[in-house]
Protein backbone atom coordinates (compact mmCIF):
# COMPACT_ATOMS: atom_id res chain seq x y z
CA UNK A 1 0.00 0.00 0.00
CA UNK A 2 2.83 2.39 0.88
CA UNK A 3 4.51 1.60 -2.45
CA UNK A 4 1.28 2.36 -4.28
CA UNK A 5 0.84 5.63 -2.43
CA UNK A 6 4.41 6.59 -3.25
CA UNK A 7 3.81 5.77 -6.90
CA UNK A 8 0.75 8.01 -6.97
CA UNK A 9 2.44 10.85 -5.07
CA UNK A 10 5.52 11.01 -7.29
CA UNK A 11 4.55 12.72 -10.52
CA UNK A 12 6.29 11.80 -13.75
CA UNK A 13 8.54 14.69 -14.84
CA UNK A 14 7.36 16.56 -17.93
CA UNK A 15 10.64 16.00 -19.76
CA UNK A 16 12.78 18.35 -21.81
CA UNK A 17 11.31 21.27 -23.73
CA UNK A 18 12.44 23.27 -26.72
CA UNK A 19 11.82 26.99 -27.09
CA UNK A 20 11.69 29.33 -30.08
CA UNK A 21 10.77 32.84 -29.02
CA UNK A 22 7.21 32.75 -27.68
CA UNK A 23 6.75 29.03 -28.47
CA UNK A 24 7.59 26.47 -25.82
CA UNK A 25 6.85 22.81 -26.53
CA UNK A 26 7.93 19.53 -24.94
CA UNK A 27 10.15 17.33 -27.06
CA UNK A 28 7.57 14.54 -26.70
CA UNK A 29 4.81 16.69 -28.21
CA UNK A 30 7.13 17.95 -30.95
CA UNK A 31 8.07 14.37 -31.88
CA UNK A 32 4.38 13.39 -32.09
CA UNK A 33 3.55 16.37 -34.34
CA UNK A 34 6.52 15.70 -36.61
CA UNK A 35 5.57 12.01 -36.81
CA UNK A 36 2.03 13.01 -37.85
CA UNK A 37 3.43 15.25 -40.60
CA UNK A 38 5.63 12.37 -41.81
CA UNK A 39 2.63 9.98 -41.84
CA UNK A 40 0.59 12.59 -43.75
CA UNK A 41 3.26 13.00 -46.43
CA UNK A 42 3.74 9.22 -46.70
CA UNK A 43 -0.03 8.79 -47.13
CA UNK A 44 0.14 11.15 -50.12
CA UNK A 45 3.12 9.57 -51.87
CA UNK A 46 3.00 5.85 -51.05
CA UNK A 47 1.04 3.68 -53.52
CA UNK A 48 -2.08 2.04 -52.13
CA UNK A 49 -2.01 -1.78 -52.41
CA UNK A 50 -4.50 -3.14 -54.91
CA UNK A 51 -5.33 -6.48 -56.45
CA UNK A 52 -6.68 -7.45 -59.85
CA UNK A 53 -10.32 -6.92 -58.84
CA UNK A 54 -9.56 -3.40 -57.65
CA UNK A 55 -7.84 -2.55 -60.94
CA UNK A 56 -10.96 -3.55 -62.88
CA UNK A 57 -13.25 -1.03 -61.29
CA UNK B 1 -41.17 -22.12 -52.89
CA UNK B 2 -39.07 -19.04 -53.39
CA UNK B 3 -37.07 -17.46 -50.59
CA UNK B 4 -39.04 -14.23 -50.82
CA UNK B 5 -42.26 -16.08 -49.95
CA UNK B 6 -40.95 -17.28 -46.60
CA UNK B 7 -38.46 -14.57 -45.67
CA UNK B 8 -39.58 -12.52 -42.62
CA UNK B 9 -37.29 -9.75 -43.93
CA UNK B 10 -39.14 -9.67 -47.23
CA UNK B 11 -42.47 -9.51 -45.40
CA UNK B 12 -41.17 -6.71 -43.22
CA UNK B 13 -39.88 -4.74 -46.20
CA UNK B 14 -43.13 -5.17 -48.05
CA UNK B 15 -45.17 -3.87 -45.15
CA UNK B 16 -42.88 -0.98 -44.20
CA UNK B 17 -42.59 0.24 -47.75
CA UNK B 18 -46.35 0.33 -48.16
CA UNK B 19 -47.35 3.69 -49.54
CA UNK B 20 -49.82 5.73 -47.57
CA UNK B 21 -49.17 4.17 -44.18
CA UNK B 22 -49.45 6.87 -41.54
CA UNK B 23 -48.02 5.16 -38.45
CA UNK B 24 -45.03 6.88 -36.87
CA UNK B 25 -42.96 3.72 -37.22
CA UNK B 26 -43.61 3.70 -40.98
CA UNK B 27 -42.67 7.39 -41.12
CA UNK B 28 -39.42 6.73 -39.23
CA UNK B 29 -38.64 3.81 -41.54
CA UNK B 30 -39.15 5.97 -44.62
CA UNK B 31 -37.01 8.72 -43.09
CA UNK B 32 -34.16 6.33 -42.27
CA UNK B 33 -34.39 4.75 -45.74
CA UNK B 34 -34.15 8.19 -47.33
CA UNK B 35 -31.17 9.42 -45.30
CA UNK B 36 -28.65 8.00 -47.76
CA UNK B 37 -28.98 6.78 -51.35
CA UNK B 38 -30.00 3.14 -51.67
CA UNK B 39 -27.12 0.76 -50.99
CA UNK B 40 -24.89 3.45 -49.48
CA UNK B 41 -25.19 2.60 -45.78
CA UNK B 42 -22.40 0.01 -46.10
CA UNK B 43 -21.13 0.26 -49.69
CA UNK B 44 -18.68 -2.38 -50.89
CA UNK B 45 -17.40 -0.37 -53.85
CA UNK B 46 -15.94 3.12 -54.04
CA UNK B 47 -14.66 5.43 -56.80
CA UNK B 48 -11.14 4.54 -57.94
CA UNK B 49 -9.59 7.65 -56.38
CA UNK B 50 -10.48 6.31 -52.92
CA UNK B 51 -7.67 3.74 -53.35
CA UNK B 52 -5.23 6.08 -51.59
CA UNK B 53 -3.77 6.04 -48.10
CA UNK B 54 -5.10 9.54 -47.43
CA UNK B 55 -8.64 8.12 -47.51
CA UNK B 56 -7.80 5.64 -44.72
CA UNK B 57 -7.60 8.08 -41.84
CA UNK B 58 -11.31 8.75 -41.43
CA UNK B 59 -12.14 5.11 -40.81
CA UNK B 60 -8.94 4.73 -38.75
CA UNK B 61 -10.24 7.53 -36.56
CA UNK B 62 -13.61 5.81 -36.30
CA UNK B 63 -11.94 2.50 -35.40
CA UNK B 64 -9.94 4.24 -32.67
CA UNK B 65 -13.19 5.65 -31.31
CA UNK B 66 -14.60 2.13 -31.01
CA UNK B 67 -11.55 1.04 -28.98
CA UNK B 68 -11.88 4.17 -26.83
CA UNK B 69 -15.52 3.40 -26.06
CA UNK B 70 -14.93 -0.29 -25.31
CA UNK B 71 -11.89 0.34 -23.07
CA UNK B 72 -13.76 3.19 -21.39
CA UNK B 73 -16.68 0.87 -20.64
CA UNK B 74 -14.26 -1.62 -19.04
CA UNK B 75 -12.74 1.21 -16.97
CA UNK B 76 -16.16 2.07 -15.58
CA UNK B 77 -16.20 -1.35 -13.90
CA UNK B 78 -13.28 -0.41 -11.66
CA UNK B 79 -13.79 3.32 -11.35
CA UNK B 80 -11.41 6.24 -11.73
CA UNK B 81 -8.85 5.06 -9.16
CA UNK B 82 -8.79 1.44 -10.39
CA UNK B 83 -5.69 1.93 -12.52
CA UNK B 84 -3.63 3.03 -9.50
CA UNK B 85 -4.05 -0.29 -7.68
CA UNK B 86 -4.54 -2.94 -10.37
CA UNK B 87 -2.15 -4.02 -13.13
CA UNK B 88 -5.13 -5.01 -15.29
CA UNK B 89 -6.76 -1.66 -14.57
CA UNK B 90 -3.49 0.03 -15.55
CA UNK B 91 -3.43 -1.96 -18.79
CA UNK B 92 -7.00 -1.01 -19.69
CA UNK B 93 -6.27 2.61 -18.78
CA UNK B 94 -3.24 2.54 -21.09
CA UNK B 95 -5.33 1.06 -23.92
CA UNK B 96 -7.80 3.89 -23.35
CA UNK B 97 -5.03 6.52 -23.41
CA UNK B 98 -3.24 5.23 -26.49
CA UNK B 99 -6.44 4.74 -28.46
CA UNK B 100 -7.20 8.39 -27.70
CA UNK B 101 -3.72 9.34 -28.96
CA UNK B 102 -4.39 7.39 -32.17
CA UNK B 103 -7.88 8.89 -32.40
CA UNK B 104 -6.54 12.45 -32.34
CA UNK B 105 -3.54 11.73 -34.58
CA UNK B 106 -5.70 10.07 -37.24
CA UNK B 107 -8.42 12.71 -36.86
CA UNK B 108 -5.96 15.56 -37.42
CA UNK B 109 -4.31 13.84 -40.42
CA UNK B 110 -7.83 13.17 -41.77
CA UNK B 111 -8.58 16.87 -41.30
CA UNK B 112 -5.34 17.94 -43.05
CA UNK B 113 -6.20 15.71 -45.99
CA UNK B 114 -9.75 17.03 -46.24
CA UNK B 115 -8.64 20.66 -45.82
CA UNK B 116 -6.10 20.53 -48.66
CA UNK B 117 -8.67 18.62 -50.76
CA UNK B 118 -11.27 21.35 -50.09
CA UNK B 119 -13.67 18.60 -49.12
CA UNK B 120 -16.54 20.99 -48.52
CA UNK B 121 -17.04 21.07 -52.31
CA UNK B 122 -20.06 19.33 -53.83
CA UNK B 123 -22.60 20.38 -51.20
CA UNK B 124 -20.47 18.85 -48.41
CA UNK B 125 -20.34 21.96 -46.21
CA UNK B 126 -22.23 20.32 -43.36
CA UNK B 127 -19.97 17.26 -43.56
CA UNK B 128 -16.96 19.53 -43.03
CA UNK B 129 -18.75 21.48 -40.27
CA UNK B 130 -19.81 18.38 -38.33
CA UNK B 131 -16.25 17.05 -38.62
CA UNK B 132 -14.95 20.29 -37.10
CA UNK B 133 -17.58 20.08 -34.35
CA UNK B 134 -16.55 16.48 -33.63
CA UNK B 135 -12.96 17.67 -33.27
CA UNK B 136 -13.85 20.38 -30.76
CA UNK B 137 -16.21 18.05 -28.87
CA UNK B 138 -13.43 15.48 -28.67
CA UNK B 139 -11.09 18.12 -27.24
CA UNK B 140 -13.54 18.69 -24.39
CA UNK B 141 -13.97 14.98 -23.82
CA UNK B 142 -10.21 14.41 -23.72
CA UNK B 143 -9.81 17.37 -21.37
CA UNK B 144 -12.29 15.92 -18.87
CA UNK B 145 -10.45 12.61 -19.19
CA UNK B 146 -7.25 14.29 -18.02
CA UNK B 147 -9.20 15.81 -15.12
CA UNK B 148 -10.31 12.43 -13.73
CA UNK B 149 -6.92 10.70 -13.57
CA UNK B 150 -6.99 11.20 -9.76
CA UNK B 151 -3.31 12.12 -9.53
CA UNK B 152 -1.18 15.25 -9.29
CA UNK B 153 -1.36 15.68 -13.05
CA UNK B 154 -5.15 16.01 -12.94
CA UNK B 155 -4.89 18.36 -9.95
CA UNK B 156 -2.46 20.59 -11.83
CA UNK B 157 -4.56 20.60 -15.01
CA UNK B 158 -7.82 21.30 -13.19
CA UNK B 159 -6.44 24.20 -11.16
CA UNK B 160 -4.81 25.76 -14.22
CA UNK B 161 -7.94 25.22 -16.33
CA UNK B 162 -10.12 26.70 -13.61
CA UNK B 163 -8.26 30.02 -13.89
CA UNK B 164 -8.37 29.93 -17.67
CA UNK B 165 -12.08 29.16 -17.82
CA UNK B 166 -12.84 31.87 -15.24
CA UNK B 167 -10.81 34.36 -17.30
CA UNK B 168 -12.86 33.35 -20.34
CA UNK B 169 -16.06 34.07 -18.40
CA UNK B 170 -17.51 30.55 -18.47
CA UNK B 171 -16.16 29.22 -15.20
CA UNK B 172 -19.47 29.75 -13.37
CA UNK B 173 -21.33 27.19 -15.49
CA UNK B 174 -19.29 24.17 -14.43
CA UNK B 175 -16.49 23.33 -12.01
CA UNK B 176 -13.47 21.54 -13.42
CA UNK B 177 -12.26 20.87 -9.86
CA UNK B 178 -15.45 18.90 -9.07
CA UNK B 179 -14.34 15.31 -9.70
CA UNK B 180 -17.86 13.84 -9.62
CA UNK B 181 -19.14 16.39 -12.13
CA UNK B 182 -16.20 15.87 -14.47
CA UNK B 183 -16.50 12.07 -14.30
CA UNK B 184 -20.13 12.27 -15.38
CA UNK B 185 -19.30 14.73 -18.13
CA UNK B 186 -16.53 12.43 -19.36
CA UNK B 187 -18.40 9.12 -19.29
CA UNK B 188 -21.93 10.28 -20.11
CA UNK B 189 -22.61 13.79 -21.35
CA UNK B 190 -19.68 14.43 -23.68
CA UNK B 191 -19.53 10.92 -25.21
CA UNK B 192 -23.21 11.31 -26.11
CA UNK B 193 -22.52 14.69 -27.70
CA UNK B 194 -19.46 13.45 -29.61
CA UNK B 195 -21.21 10.20 -30.54
CA UNK B 196 -24.19 12.13 -31.91
CA UNK B 197 -22.00 14.51 -33.94
CA UNK B 198 -19.90 11.64 -35.30
CA UNK B 199 -23.07 9.75 -36.28
CA UNK B 200 -24.37 12.76 -38.21
CA UNK B 201 -20.93 13.20 -39.81
CA UNK B 202 -20.80 9.57 -40.96
CA UNK B 203 -24.39 9.73 -42.29
CA UNK B 204 -23.49 12.87 -44.26
CA UNK B 205 -20.40 11.14 -45.70
CA UNK B 206 -22.59 8.22 -46.78
CA UNK B 207 -25.22 10.64 -48.11
CA UNK B 208 -22.91 12.83 -50.21
CA UNK B 209 -20.17 10.27 -50.86
CA UNK B 210 -16.49 10.78 -50.09
CA UNK B 211 -14.99 13.98 -51.46
CA UNK B 212 -13.04 13.51 -54.69
CA UNK B 213 -9.55 14.94 -55.29
CA UNK B 214 -9.67 18.43 -56.80
CA UNK B 215 -8.78 17.28 -60.33
CA UNK B 216 -11.08 14.23 -60.30
CA UNK B 217 -14.64 13.83 -61.55
CA UNK B 218 -17.16 13.31 -58.76
CA UNK B 219 -19.47 10.45 -59.80
CA UNK B 220 -21.82 11.27 -56.90
CA UNK B 221 -22.11 14.97 -57.69
CA UNK B 222 -25.89 14.86 -58.02
CA UNK B 223 -26.60 11.96 -55.66
CA UNK B 224 -27.13 14.17 -52.65
CA UNK B 225 -29.74 16.25 -54.40
CA UNK B 226 -31.76 13.19 -55.32
CA UNK B 227 -32.05 11.90 -51.77
CA UNK B 228 -35.34 12.43 -50.00
CA UNK B 229 -35.08 14.39 -46.75
CB within 8 Å: A40 and B85: no
Total domains present in chain A: 1
- Residue B220 located in a structural domain: no
Quote the percentage of chain B above a pLDDT of 90.
Answer: 69
Distances (CA, A) of A31 to A18, B144, B158: 11, 24, 25
Task: Find the mean pLDDT for residues B70-86.
Answer: 96
The set of residues, in sequence order, having a beta carbon less than 8 Å from that of B207 and lying 6+ positions away, is B35, B36, B37, B40, B223, B224, B227
- Residue A54 located in a structural domain: no
Lowest mean pLDDT: which of B6-10, B78-82, B103-107, B174-178? Answer: B6-10
For residue A50, give the chain B residue with the closest CA: B51
Contact A40, B183 (CB under 8 A): no
- Residue B47 located in a structural domain: no
pTM recorded for the entire structure: 0.81
Contact B147, B190 (CB under 8 A): no
> What's the CA dihedral at B128, B134, B136, B137 to 10 degrees?
160
CB-closest option in B51, B54, B152 to A44 = B54
Q: How many contacts does A have with B, using Cβ atoms within 8 A?
A: 41
Cα–Cα distance for residue pair B67/B70, rounded to 1 Å: 5
Secondary structure class of B195 (helix, strand, coil):
helix
B23-62 per-position pLDDT tens digit: 999 999 999 888 988 888 888 888 888 999 999 999 999 9
Does A13 reach chain B within 8 Å, measured CB to CB? Answer: no
CB within 8 Å: A8 and B151: yes
- Residue A6 located in a structural domain: yes
Look at residues B167, B195, B228 and name the one whose alpha carbon lies nearest to residue B69: B195
CB within 8 Å: A43 and B48: no
Task: Find the mean pLDDT for residues B97-117.
Answer: 96
The set of residues, in sequence order, having a beta carbon less than 8 Å from that of B194 and lying 6+ positions away, is B134, B137, B138, B141
For residue A33, give the chain B residue with the closest CA: B105
Does B48 reach chain A within 8 Å, measured CB to CB? Answer: yes
DSSP for B43-87, written as a single string: -S---GGG-SGGGSHHHHHHHHHHHHHHHHHHHHHH-TTHHHH-H
CB within 8 Å: B54 and A9: no
Rounded to a whole number, what is the distance in angstroms from the first to the last CA of chain A? 63
Q: Residue B44: its pLDDT value, please?
A: 84
- Residue A55 located in a structural domain: no
- Residue B42 located in a structural domain: no
The mean of the pLDDT values for chain B is: 88
User: Would you say residue B225 has pLDDT above 60?
Assistant: no
- Residue B40 located in a structural domain: no
pLDDT classification of B229: cutoffs 50, 70, 90 = very low
Does A7 reach chain B within 8 Å, measured CB to CB? Answer: yes
- Residue A53 located in a structural domain: no
CB within 8 Å: B56 and A7: no
Q: Which helix (H) or strand (E) holds B102?
A: helix B87-116
- Residue A14 located in a structural domain: yes
B146-189 per-position pLDDT tens digit: 999 999 999 999 999 999 999 999 999 999 999 999 999 999 99
Q: Residue B216: its pLDDT value, please?
A: 79
The interface pTM score, or ipTM, of the predicted complex is 0.78
- Residue B3 located in a structural domain: no
- Residue A30 located in a structural domain: yes
CB within 8 Å: B53 and A43: yes
CB within 8 Å: A43 and B45: no
Task: Find the mean pLDDT for residues B178-206.
Answer: 96
Total domains present in chain B: 1
Q: Residue A14: its pLDDT value, please?
A: 73
Contact B37, B207 (CB under 8 A): yes
- Residue B81 located in a structural domain: yes
Does A5 reach chain B within 8 Å, measured CB to CB? Answer: no
Secondary structure class of B91 (helix, strand, coil):
helix
Cα–Cα distance for residue pair B113/B57, rounded to 1 Å: 9
A4-37 per-position pLDDT tens digit: 666 666 666 778 999 999 999 999 999 999 999 9
**Minimum distance, in Å, between the CA of residue B72 and any CA atom of chain A:** 21
Q: Residue A1: its pLDDT value, please?
A: 67
Range of the domain at B189: 52-213
- Residue B79 located in a structural domain: yes
Question: What CATH code is carried by the domain that includes residue B121?
Answer: 1.20.810.10
CB within 8 Å: B45 and A57: yes
Amino acid sequence: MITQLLAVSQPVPAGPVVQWGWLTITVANLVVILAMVVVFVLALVLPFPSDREDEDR
Amino acid sequence: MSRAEVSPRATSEASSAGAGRTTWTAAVTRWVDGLVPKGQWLPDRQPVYVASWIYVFGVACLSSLVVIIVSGLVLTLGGVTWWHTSSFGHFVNSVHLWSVELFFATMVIHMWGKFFMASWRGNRGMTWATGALAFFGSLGTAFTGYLIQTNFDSQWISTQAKDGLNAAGIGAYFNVMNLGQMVLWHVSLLPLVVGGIVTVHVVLVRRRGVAPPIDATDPTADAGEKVAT
